[in-house]
Amino acid sequence: MKTLKYTILLPLLSLTLLTSCAQMRPSVATQTGIAHDDHVTLVTHYENLANETESELQANKKVLKEYETHSCYYGTQGQDLRSHSFANIHKYEKDLKENLRQADFHRKMLIEQDPTMYMGAELAHPSKEL
């Protein structure tokens, strides 16, 4: 009886352990179809994401500034707008830092892989700093 219990529980336990250790979120390279060693494209991808994030960040900062300037226009829902804008600003700042960090990482990988390729025009500008 005990051996039957162990023969059933052991594979179930092993399967549970394997699925819990599996990577739940695939890499960006897999999601976008970019090869993991195509650092030029990955740098461009992350810089484009950083630019989009920067524009969203500025838009939310503008909304927050408008609220703080004219808070009397927003009535009872103004606090919701204010807290939502704060949350979005925090999220976009975090995302911007991460995108710039990833772009710098792939830029370094590109330099290590082929130093002459880094001299290309699209990668000659330094990354943004916050």
* Spatial distance between the Cα atoms of 130 and 98, rounded to a whole number of angstroms: 11
Q: Which amino acid is at 18?
A: L
Q: What phi and psi values does residue 74 have, to the nearest 5 degrees?
A: -95, -10
User: CA-CA distance, 25 to 72, in Å (whole number)?
Assistant: 44
| Global pTM value | 0.64
Measure the CA–CA gap between 68 and 78, rounded to whole angstroms. Answer: 9
pLDDT tens-digit map of 81-125: 889 999 999 999 999 999 999 999 999 988 888 777 655 545 444
Q: Is 33 helix (H, G, I), strand (E, B) or coil?
A: coil
Q: What is the pLDDT of residues 15-62, one digit of tens each?
A: 665 666 655 544 555 566 777 677 888 889 999 999 999 999 999 999
Look-up: residue for tokens 């960006």? Answer: 28
Which amino acid is residue 90, in one-letter code? H
Domain ranges (residues) in the chain: 34-123
